[in-house]
Structure 1
Amino acid sequence: MATQYEQLNDRLTEFIREQHVYFVATAARDGRVNVSPKGLDSLRVLGPNKVVWLNGTGSGNETAAHLLDTPRMTLMFCAFTGKPVILRLYGTARAVHRGDAEWDGLLALFPPLRGARNMFILEIDLVQTSCGFGVPLFEYQEQRTLMDSWAAHRGEDGVQSYQQERNRVSIDGFATGLPERSHDAGPVQSRENHRTPNMDGTRTPQ
């Protein structure tokens, strides 16, 4: 049976801190619904009704695009060990980009992440727990290091180029709000000039 709360309490906050993965869901008024898994110690509880999570560079940028149209967001956490429980946080969210006034202060809350692209602040208006009887038991091993090694291989200039080329519009063609690259950051490479792997491990033909 579901139980609803107006805000996070100490018990639920501790549950969030114990999780190694969580899921983010957003949708614009039109187009596709997006659900993304997140890990890498990328979420912080800022208060009983506010959390922030850090987003690395990825193949898409759907969350940012959706929030510009419809700022609703749901975060879901599942217990994969111990007592079964599912925790959902509902609310409205907004993106924080590199160069915004809040960027440096929020970024300091997280471990270093090469390729950090944006952060999202969720203002929570409803907290809900429900049974996790259908969620299987898993044993945690470790976080993957591929995102960091990919960003290190490309370098800061290459990561920014990738973001400009792949992350400025969603799969439905919506703008994501990603800031344009500064003029002193160097030229943006075309896709035909990529010499490093894509996020899925493939290489663009030369």
Structure 2
Amino acid sequence: MGVFYESIPPSLESWILEQKVLWVATAPLTASGHVNLSPKGGPYFGIVNPTTFWYLDLTGSGSETLSHLHEPGNGRITVLFNAFEGPPRIVRLWGWGEVLEYGTQKYLDFVKQTSADTIPGTRAVIVVHIHQVGSSCGFSMPLFDFKDFRSTLNEFFEKRVAAEEAGNKKDGIERYWAYKNAFSIDGLPGMQRGLETGQKENVKPLKKMVGPRAPKANMLHYPSSVHSRPALSMVLFLLAMVLSFGAGIFTTVFAPLYTARLLESVPK
């Protein structure tokens, strides 16, 4: 039987912190966009208080979560844990996700305040502001014995960060972010730092999908996808103003003349 709470109860807090794997689900606002589900492994998460959960967003080949949380009016996120040993259990955290990107003041302040143990390749801290917690049975989940965390990802990005610090931009992490993390598979803007590097250093972003559902090439170009939108909105606004002004002149000057002629043509 499922049980719901408005915050993380003490009975679940220690269990959550003991887990080795979590899943993160997000989606774009458009109905044609793709729902994303990302597995996360490692001791890179924590609980600030009963309504605030966080985890490190480590660099990878995709940036779906960042893109969906950055999307205006979005921010929806669900975090799921399930027991692989001991009594069966599934726990979900529903909330609004806040992206604290690497290098920003919010990121630095959060890491300092929480003593979060960041590692090379960390591109953001995702803070989940929880509004609902659900616990269910998980009777169908299999049992597994934990062996160890993989070190492959950490080692790969340690090399990227070291290359960046040594001045080797070609093999550094900034260009990796621009190439693979600037946009989602649907063409939504992703990691802001990747977008900035892509624009500044003219890095062509990776096209991640194939077939008719793949975003158009021009939607994966930083200036046209990000900076031209306010300009386009202004053009549409000015066009609407001109049309409104023209309609006002027509109504004031020509409408009375047209009405008078129409009345004259009516048989008496």
- The equivalent residue for 2:60 is 58
Q: Which amino acid aligns with 1:136?
A: P
Q: Is the 8 A contact 1:164 1:188 kept in 2?
A: no
Structure 1 stretches of 4+ moved >4 Å: 186-191
Secondary structure at the counterpart of residue 102 of structure 1: helix
**Which blocks of at least 5 consecutive residues in structure 2 are unaligned?**
165-171, 206-268
Q: Which residue, 140, 153, 177 being the options, matches 1:147?
A: 153
User: Per chain length, whose mean CA-contact separation is higher, i.e. which structure has more relative contact order (CA < 8 Å, sep 6+)?
Assistant: 1
- The equivalent residue for 1:201 is none
Secondary structure at the counterpart of residue 88 of structure 1: strand
- The equivalent residue for 1:160 is 174
Q: Is the 8 A contact 1:161 1:188 kept in 2?
A: no
- State yes or no: 1:73 paired with 2:77: yes
Q: Is the 8 A contact 2:181 2:191 kept in 1?
A: no
Larger Rg: 2
Identical columns (%): 33
Secondary structure at the counterpart of residue 131 of structure 2: strand
Give distance in 2, aligned partners of 1:123 and 1:81: 28
Secondary structure at the counterpart of residue 135 of structure 1: coil
Q: Is the 8 A contact 2:178 2:203 kept in 1?
A: no
Q: Which amino acid aligns with 1:144?
A: R
Give distance in 2, aligned partners of 1:188 and 1:173: 17
Give distance in 1, aligned partners of 2:92 and 2:116: 22
Q: Which residue, 99, 103, 112 being the options, matches 2:107?
A: 103
Question: Does the C-alpha gap of structure 1 residues 188 and 15 become closer, same or farther in structure 2, counting only changes over 3 Å?
Answer: farther
Give distance in 2, aligned partners of 1:172 and 1:190: 16
- The equivalent residue for 2:97 is 93
Q: Is the 8 A contact 2:52 2:128 kept in 1?
A: yes
- RMSD over aligned CA atoms reads 2.1
The alignment's TM-score, normalised by the length of structure 1, stands at 0.85
Give distance in 1, aligned partners of 2:118 and 2:27: 29
Give distance in 2, aligned partners of 1:176 and 1:44: 24
- The equivalent residue for 1:130 is 136
Q: Is the 8 A contact 1:56 1:117 kept in 2?
A: yes
More helix by share: 2
The alignment's TM-score, normalised by the length of structure 2, stands at 0.66
- The equivalent residue for 2:214 is none
Deviates more, 1:149-158 or 1:91-100: 149-158
Q: Which amino acid aligns with 1:152?
A: E
Q: Which amino acid aligns with 1:148?
A: N
Q: Which residue, 186, 189, 204 being the options, matches 1:172?
A: 186
Deviates more, 1:107-116 or 1:157-166: 107-116
Give distance in 2, aligned partners of 1:165 and 1:133: 42
TM-aligned CA deviation for residue 112 of structure 1: 3.8
Give distance in 1, aligned partners of 2:50 and 2:29: 28
Write out per-residue CA displacement over residues 119-157 of structure 1, whole angstroms, 9 at most, x where no aligned residue. 111110100000111110010111111111101222342
**Which blocks of at least 5 consecutive residues in structure 1 are unaligned?**
192-206
Give distance in 1, aligned partners of 2:111 and 2:147: 26
Q: Which amino acid aligns with 1:174?
A: L
Q: Which amino acid aligns with 2:20?
A: H
Write out per-residue CA displacement over residues 79-127 of structure 1, whole angstroms, 9 at most, x where no aligned residue. 1000000000001111111232221233353334111101111110100
TM-aligned CA deviation for residue 188 of structure 1: 7.3
Q: Which residue, 121, 124, 127 being the options, matches 1:115?
A: 121
More strand by share: 1
- The equivalent residue for 2:39 is 37
